Structure 1
Amino acid sequence: MNTKYIDLINQSFYFPQEEFKLRNKTLEFHDIDLMKLVEEYGAPLKFTYLPQISNNIARAKGWFAKAIEKNDYKGKYNYCYCTKSSHFKHVLNEALKNDIHIETSSAFDIDIVENLKKEGKITDDTFVISNGFKRAQYVTNIARLINNGHKNAIPIIDNYEEIDLLSQEIKGKFNVGIRIASEEEPKFEFYTSRLGIGYKNIVPFYNRQIKDNPKVELKMLHFFINTGIRDNAYYWNELVKCLKVYTALKKICPTLDSLNIGGGFPIKNSLGFDFDYEYMVDEILNQIKGVCEEEEVEVPNIFTEFGSFTVGESGGAIYEVLYQKQQNDREKWNMINSSFITTLPDTWAINKRFIMLPINRWHESYERVLLGGLTCDSDDYYNSEQHMNAIYLPKYNKDKPLYIGFFNTGAYQETIGGFGGLQHCLIPSPKHILINRDEDGNLVKEVFSEQQKSEDLLKILGYNEQ
């Protein structure tokens, strides 16, 4: 009988896959021996595999280049990275190796941009697209960036007051974009996004505040869908509505030349993940070109803002199963040596799915389990709601340690979890390792942060002020 965990995987999915394979009966991720990583650094453990950031940027650029050629599309393509997905310097340094641009969302983002400029990572030719509701400090920082010569900074107008606020602090002429307040999916409890300006109000807003304003030039229309780029009726319907606004605006605003289709690509969240990226890019450009030809306007330059897609698939977390609790006849709880709420907060907050696989013991029999975290909070768990279906793992054996990995966790988890700060129930943040490759392709590993110690947390709490 096929009763081993490896048999279950082979029956359920195509395996091995591009990033996952077994060697010496243990799991490898992008040819990284994960069991060796555990033996070297212990668990719980977080890691970032930096080359995957460049890999995903190259993939997306390739899809757009192919679609531009196929559709004889006359506009240019610009890849922007959403810094909010992960602000860490090692992430930005890797991403910026690939001739990309930056999307910001708050005042301190501009400080990061200026730091990167000082180090030569970006130049005045790098587009800095500034989204979000702009409070005073954000306006001041954007103005400082533009006043210091960064002419490719484009603040995206989110509300009717921002033109005046920016004009007061920016010396001379500056470019702007306008964000469309898209309508949300029917499952939302609200109908229209709180961000941006409504479809029907954009042309009147342009006529009222921008058209005859000698300081302001409209360059970009920004279209963002909260659920990201998906092949469903909702996405295509919103895109068509956006294109109607773009073409109407282009006819009265010759300077408008760019369309930002923000709202990123999905990332792989199970071994059964299937998304035809190439088809989506081709169809998006085909639709944009078709509407523009019908309305007899030039096609726009295309900007995308990919955050999770850029950095998500570079990250992983490894835990040890400490103990198994049999809570009733059917429920077996495998307790990990960390917390889902603190280290993978999206599993708790939005039931987000990540790929979860054991690191070792693939050739042993398996059982159905629930996964529990260490905090005393009843919501600190990972089960079939977050996972694609029921969770199966090699059978618990107190004499044979079991390690499990969560993969493609590189976006948002550190910032939402409060990296370096207090954690729920004072569960410490795990050690974090950066993994790169040298010129010969050999792995290079570096400890980015050690596991938090009690004195770190006590100092934050005011118990140890020295």
Structure 2
Amino acid sequence: MNTKYNNLIDQTYYFPQEEFSLDGSQLKFHDIDLMELVNKYGAPLKFTYLPKISDNINRAKDWFRNAIEKYNYPGSYNYCYCTKSSHFEHVLNEALKNDIHIETSSAFDINIVEKLKQSGKVTDETWVLCNGFKRDQYIENISRLLNGGHKNCLPIIDNYEELDLLSENIDGKFQVGIRIASEEEPKFEFYTSRLGIGYKNIVPFYKKQLEDNEQVDLRMLHFFINTGIRDTAYYWNELNKCLKVYIALKKICPTLDSLNIGGGFPIKNSLAFEYDYQYMVDEIINQIQLACEEAEVEAPHIFTEFGSFTVGESGGAIYEVLYQKQQNDREKWNMINSSFITTLPDTWAISKKFVMLAINRWNDEYERVLLGGLTCDSDDYYNSEQHTNAIYLPKFKKDKPLYIGFFNTGAYQDTIGGFGGLQHCLIPQPKHILIDRDENGELKTSLFSKQQDAEDMLKILGYNGKN
């Protein structure tokens, strides 16, 4: 009988896959020996495989390059990284090796940009697209960047007040974009995004505040879909409405020359994941080209803002199964040596699924289990995979340690989880490992941050002060 864990994976999915392979009974990720990582650093741990960031950036550039050549598209393509997905220096350093641009979301992002400029990793040629709802500090920081000579800083207008606030603080002429408040999916809790300006209000806004404004040029229309770029009737309908706005604006605004199609590509959340990236890029470029040709307006330069797609597939987390609790006739709880709420908060907050696989013991028989975290919160669990309603892992044995990995976790989890700060039930933040390759392709690892200890927590809580 095919009762072993490797039989289950082989029967359920196509395996091995591009990033996953098996060495005996142990899993490899991008040819990284994960058990060797565990033996060297222990578990729980998080890791970032830096080369995957550059790989995804260049994959996307190739898709757009192919589409532009296929349709003889006259505009250029510009890849932007959404810093909110992961603000860490090692992430930005790797991403910026690839001639990209940056999208910011809040005031302190600009401080990061200034640090990167000081180190030469960002230059005056780098586009800095400033999204988000802007209040005093963000306005002040954007203005400082522009007044300091970074003319490729482009504030994206989110509401009617922002233009006046920027104009009061910026010396001389500057450029802006306008964000469209797209309509949300029909199943969403509200109809229209809280961000941006409504479709019907953009042209009147331009005529009232920008058309005769000698200080400001409108350069970009920003289109963002919360669900990301997916082959659905909803996405194509919203893109079509966006193009109608772009065309109407372009006919009265000669400085408008760029369209930002934010929203991002999906990333792999299951071994059964399928998505035709090249097809989607081809169709987007084709739709924009056809709409502009029909309206007899010049096709725009294309910008994208990929956050999760840039960094998500570079990240992973490894846990050890500490103990198994049989709570009733049917439910076996494998308790991990960390917490899902604190280390993978999206599993708790939005029921997000990641690729989950055993790290070792693939030749052992498997069983159906639930996974529980260490906090006392009943929501600290993980109970199913993306395409199955259950989790199967090698059978728990006290004398044979079992390690499990969650993959493609590199976007948002550390910042949402409050990296370096307090954690629910004071469960410590795991150690974090950076993995890179040298010029010969050899793997090299380094410790980015150690696991939190009691002193770290007590300091935050104020217990180490003088009474």
What's the TM-score once normalised by structure 2's chain length? 0.99
Contact 2:220 2:260 in 1 (8 A): yes
Contact 1:199 1:245 in 2 (8 A): yes
Aligned AA for 1:353?
Answer: K
| 1:14-413 → structure 2 map (5 Å cutoff) | 14-384=14-384, 388-413=388-413
Name the aligned partner's letter for residue 363 of structure 2.
Answer: H
Q: Distance in 1 between matches of 2:389 and 2:89?
A: 36
Kindly tell me: are residues 343 and 425 of structure 1, through their superposed partners in 2, closer, same or farther at Cα, counting changes over 3 Å? same
CA-CA distance at 1:389 after TM superposition: 2.9
Fraction of identical pairs, as percent: 80
Gaps in structure 1 of 5+ consecutive residues: none
Deviation at residue 398 of structure 1 after TM alignment: 0.6
Shift of 1:24: 2.9
Report the Cα distance in structure 2 between the residues aligned to 1:265 and 1:327, rounded to whole angstroms: 40
Q: Secondary structure at the match of 1:223?
A: strand
Q: Deviations over 1:288-329 (max 9, x none)?
A: 000001111000000000000000000000000000001111
Q: Which amino acid aligns with 1:100?
A: I
User: What's the Cα RMSD here?
Assistant: 0.8
Deviations 1:417-450 (A, max 9, x none): 0000000000000000000000011111110000
CA-to-aligned-CA distance 1:197-242 (integer Å, 9 cap, x gap)? 0000000000000000000000000000001000001100000000
CA distance in 2, matches of 1:393, 1:387: 15
Contiguous gaps of at least 5 residues in structure 2: none
Please give the alpha-carbon distance, in whole angstroms, between the structure 1 residues aligned to 2:329 and 2:295: 66
State the distance in 2 between where 1:442 and 1:208 align: 59
Following superposition, the deviation at residue 96 of structure 1 comes to 0.1
2:219–2:258 CA contact under 8 A, matched in 1: yes
Q: Deviations over 1:109-148 (max 9, x none)?
A: 0000000000000100000000000000000100000000
Aligned pairs (5 A) from 1:376-455: 376-384=376-384, 388-455=388-455
Q: Secondary structure at the match of 1:180?
A: strand
Q: Give the superposition deviation at 1:25.
A: 1.8
Change (3 A) 1:180 1:388: farther
Q: d(CA) in 1 for partners of 2:266 and 2:55?
A: 15
Q: Distance in 1 between matches of 2:251 and 2:348?
A: 47
Deviation sequence 1:37-71 (CA, Å, 0-9, x none): 00000000000000000000010000000000001
Give the number of equivalent residue pairs.
466
C-alpha contact (below 8 Å) 1:358/1:403 kept by paired residues: yes
The structural deviation recorded for 1:188 is 1.0
Which residue identity does 2:247 align to in structure 1?
T
Q: State the one-letter code of the partner of 1:81.
A: Y
Letter in 2 for 1:336: I
- Paired AA for residue 358 in structure 1: A
Q: Counterparts of 2:368 and 2:226 in 1: how far apart (Å)?
A: 34
Secondary structure at 1:172 match in 2: coil
For residues 43 and 387 of structure 2, what CA distance do their matches in structure 1 show? 22
Partner SS state of residue 262, structure 2: coil
Given that 1:358 and 1:402 are in contact with CA atoms closer than 8 Å, whether structure 2 keeps it comes out as: yes
Contact 1:82–1:305 under 8 Å retained in 2: yes
Counterpart residue identity of residue 292, structure 1? C
Cα distance in structure 2, aligned partners of 1:387 and 1:53: 26
Distance of 1:388 and 1:293 partners within structure 2: 46
Q: Distance in 1 between matches of 2:157 and 2:389?
A: 42
1:175 is paired with a residue of what secondary structure?
A: strand
Which amino acid letter does the alignment assign opposite residue 202 of structure 2? I
In the aligned structure 1, how far is the partner of 2:306 from the partner of 2:403? 31
Is the CA contact 1:351–1:385 (under 8 Å) kept in the aligned structure 2? no
C-alpha distance in 1 between matches for 2:369 and 2:241: 46
